[in-house]
Structure 1
Amino acid sequence: MTSDIPTPDRQTSTDPAKDPAADPFTADPGRRRPRRGALIAAITVAGVVVAGAGGFLLYERPSPASKPAGNAHRPPATAEVVRGDLVEEVRAFGPVRFSGDRGVKNQIRGIVTWTPAGNSGIGRGEKLYAVDDKPVILLRGNLPAWREFAPGMADGRDVLALEENLAALGYTGFTVDDEYSQKTAAAVKRWQKAVGLPATGKIELGRVVFASGPVRIDKAAARPGDAAEPGAEILRISSAAQHVAVEIPVAEQDLAVKGAKTTIMMPDGSETPGRIASVGAGRLNKDNESVVPVSVRLSDPDALKNVQNTDVQVVLKRVEARDVLSVPVTALLPADREGYAVQVVQGTRVRLVPVKTGAFADGRAEISGSGITEGTRVGVPKL
């Protein structure tokens, strides 16, 4: 006894009854060909048919559809027809990492007198490290500091970034623009006095470091007492934001779309939402498997702040069909030249009903047919 199993390259007919080679999984022309999970499920059904010939009707070639099966063929178990979305998903494990790892290079000559502890957080206006017992301050901005700030300097985006930070820290009295005016210098003097710097109105190169947001200290590359040389790396920092790095099979990469929603399963069993931040190029992993690297950013930046040195599970999902009737794929019975049927169980009465199949996902199959409604009970093998 055999059962036709669909293959991805096979041409299908919209009428299985007229085409003996028709693919029952794509009998509905409005549906896509099943994905790999659906093929596996279909193979499982066929295996059940062969394995149990002579037993419960799910293990036999069914008689003509809608013919009463009688109590002798009552299935060992039943399942309800359910209405809802059919969702395909891929699950992958990966480590929690901090984003934006980079080095901080010192630009001030002297002696290192203080560096922060590893894994500590530094925010705007706070001391990042110290040279000659004077602080180097973290400010917010995307353009690196590349020159001294002083009255009379050429206008520029770096001036605008400095003034935006001064205003955000409460030092105002000037127009926030790209011009370093005398009023800007006056605000700088007030700021310098507050952080323990000489109130000169000038900011030497290297006294401030710009970053796009709060940073996390990974480690210090220099210790107090070391010489501070211009151009030497003094800290390794990262963004305070975390992401999860996972790899998914190349065959499933169409589920990985930048911006798509994901679910992160925490080690304690809880869940937190996330979005795909980036998708890399396909490559071979250490097991010589073709994979695609995916970075997932958490919607709640603090959700993983206490989760380190462990892997979490990322679930990528895609809705295959919305608001449809579905049954476990094991409820499907191959019918001669008629696609598929299910055993409908009503009290002591069992009858075969032909059905059309649509989408497949998560071990379930979309079906439609005469008398098939939400809550209808259909036969399935005993688990």
Structure 2
Amino acid sequence: MTTNTPTPAGQSGMDPATDTVTAGPGRPRSRRRPLIAAITMAVVAVAGSGVFLLYDRPAPPAAPAGAAQRPSATEKVVRGDLVEEVRAFGPVRFSGDRGVKNRIRGVVTWTPAGNSGIGRGEKLYAVDDKPVILLRGSLPAWREFAPGMADGRDVLALEENLAALGYTGFTVDDEYSQKTAAAVKRWQKAVGLPATGKIELGRVVFASGPVRIDKAVARPGDAAEPGAEILRISSAAQHVAVEIPVAEQDLAVKGAKTTIMMPDGSETPGMIASVGAGRLNKDNESVVPVSVRLSDPDALKNVQNTDVQVVLKRVEARDVLSVPVTALLPADRGGYAVQVVQGTRVRLVPVTTGAFADGRAEISGSGITEGTRVGVPKL
């Protein structure tokens, strides 16, 4: 995790490239506008010792003169979770992009339109005016189906598809029986194939689910050569591809929940599906590629050719009192204090700090309660 020093009052804590967003009841939060990711500030505390490791910025100055005078602005002490965030922008993509290779020699007579969907039992493309059919399964078709063939998982997958399409009268297992062949004949007749009871290699293509046509590589009239790519397909599911700085990759954990900010300002939940190996991006920055899957598969079906924002979060502390880090002042005897403002009275109160996240600091001290007003620099 990247560590940064909290900015004491009296020093500028604003980056000229930041704006202000709301982070909870009554507290502002600064957010960096990212080229790749917006990264919240964090400070690492040495547990139980009251000593903090402060990096990247100079040590706090001596207590300013008149520190107990009325501050230019105040903020309430709030109770809630301190959450660290990484925000990243990335494109919406369809998952599982791959090519479909033809196995039947002849002439291509039909291919589907780009961005169309093909489901189980439907025509994927046609050779010599005969359809190649999409079926559901994880094992690629690798041999001809015919009575007397050796038992196998491919037979089981074929029979499961026949049964799902309404062709029954056989036992669903890994044996291609005469009853299986009879069901195949009925299926062949229905889809416009010769009713032979045999299925040549390449007549069916197995996929794990419905597919989306990205584009047709071959066109009607082209030669259909065995082994030649004829279509580019993907699954119908979408994901968001983002890059996270390597320094923040501890927030990118497979299975972790995320929030996806839509172009219209709405939100939809997601989950990290995969995390790749670190690499240098086009700006020569060290990043980790992350793929985020949507909890609602249809949430992005109408969102194309644009980037969306992915928010990764980690709770640093739960149900604690916190103030903006700009409220912290260096105390005379070390550590920190805050200016507590009660009406016209201003007093310095030493505080113990805990977790730091998102420009806020966990504090505790005498008389510090939820709603207590503390001094901060006026923005």
Q: CA offsets per residue over residues 18-62 of structure 1, 9 Å max, x none?
A: x99999999999999999999999999999999999999999999
Higher Cα radius of gyration: 1
Distance 1:249 1:72, change over 3 A: closer
Q: CA offsets per residue over residues 263-308 of structure 1, 9 Å max, x none?
A: 1111111111111111111111111111111111111111111111
Distance 1:145 1:228, change over 3 A: same
Aligned 8 A contact 1:92 1:248 in 2: yes
Superposition map of 1:226-241 within 5 A: 226-241=222-237
Q: CA offsets per residue over residues 93-146 of structure 1, 9 Å max, x none?
A: 111111111110111111111100011111111110011111111011111000
Distance 1:351 1:204, change over 3 A: same
Please report how far the alpha carbon of residue 338 of structure 1 lies from its aligned counterpart in structure 2 after TM superposition: 3.4
Distance 1:157 1:62, change over 3 A: closer
Aligned 8 A contact 2:41 2:358 in 1: no
Aligned 8 A contact 1:58 1:75 in 2: no
Please report how far the alpha carbon of residue 337 of structure 1 lies from its aligned counterpart in structure 2 after TM superposition: 2.3
Distance 1:161 1:315, change over 3 A: same
Q: Equivalents in 2 of 1:169, 1:28: separation in Å?
A: 53
Distance 1:162 1:28, change over 3 A: closer
Aligned to 1:382: 378
Q: CA offsets per residue over residues 54-98 of structure 1, 9 Å max, x none?
A: 999999999999999999822222111111111101111111111
Q: CA offsets per residue over residues 219-268 of structure 1, 9 Å max, x none?
A: 11111111111111110111111111111111111111111111111111
Distance 1:218 1:131, change over 3 A: same
Distance 1:28 1:342, change over 3 A: farther
* Number of aligned positions between the proteins: 376
Distance 1:364 1:294, change over 3 A: same
Aligned 8 A contact 2:2 2:247 in 1: no
TM-score (norm 1): 0.82
**Relative to total residues, which structure has the larger strand share, 1 or 2?**
2
Q: Equivalents in 2 of 1:222, 1:2: separation in Å?
A: 50
Q: Equivalents in 2 of 1:220, 1:20: separation in Å?
A: 49
Aligned 8 A contact 2:43 2:355 in 1: no
Please report how far the alpha carbon of residue 149 of structure 1 lies from its aligned counterpart in structure 2 after TM superposition: 0.7
The yes-or-no answer on 1:212 pairing with 2:228 is no
Aligned to 1:10: 10
Give the fraction of aligned pairs with identical amino acids, expressed as a percent. Answer: 91
Gap regions ≥5 residues in structure 1:
12-18
Aligned 8 A contact 2:82 2:356 in 1: yes
Distance 1:78 1:52, change over 3 A: farther
Aligned to 2:74: 78
**Relative to total residues, which structure has the larger helix share, 1 or 2?**
1
Q: CA offsets per residue over residues 314-350 of structure 1, 9 Å max, x none?
A: 1111111111111111111111223111111122222
Aligned 8 A contact 2:19 2:32 in 1: no
Gap regions ≥5 residues in structure 2:
none
Aligned to 2:142: 146
TM-score (norm 2): 0.83
Aligned 8 A contact 2:60 2:330 in 1: no
Superposition map of 1:328-343 within 5 A: 328-343=324-339
